[in-house]
Amino acid sequence: MLGFVVFALVRWLPGPPPTYETWRAWMSSSGTAVAFAGFGAALLAHAWVGLRDVMMDYIASLALRVASLALLAAALLAIGAWMVVILGRAILG
C-alpha cells in the first residue's frame, strides 16, 4: 500500500492532473491499473483483519458477531466489486 501511495505522490505532487482526461489516461495504463488493483485488494484485506479483530474482541454474542462479520464481508466484497467496475471502465473506456 505504501508503495502505491509513494508512486502516486511522486507522479502528482509536482502538479496535479490538469484535466480529467489526463487522470483517466494515467489510471487506464496497465501498470497503474494493476498497481491500483493491488492497493485496493491490500486495503480491503487490511480493513477486514482490523475490523474482524475489533468485532471478535467487543461483540460477546456469537449470533450478533457472526451477523456482523457477514455484513462486513458483504460490504467489503461490494466495495471490491465496485473497484473492479471502476477500473474496468477506466481501462476499457
Give the residue, 30 or 65, on which the prediction is more confident. 65
Determine the average pLDDT of the residues in 71-84: 96
Whether the full predicted model's pTM is greater than 0.95, yes or no, is no
The structural domains of the chain, with segments of one domain joined by +, span 2-92
Per CATH, which fold does 2-92 belong to?
Answer: 3 helical TM bundles of succinate and fumarate reductases (1.20.1300)
Nearest to 32 by CA among 80, 87, 76: 87
**So what's the pLDDT on residue 43?**
96
C-alpha–C-alpha distance, residues 72 and 30, integer Å: 30
| pLDDT tens-digit series, residues 8-63 | 888 888 888 788 888 888 888 888 888 989 999 999 999 999 999 999 999 999 99
What pLDDT does 22 receive? 84
Tallying the residues shown for the chain, one arrives at 93
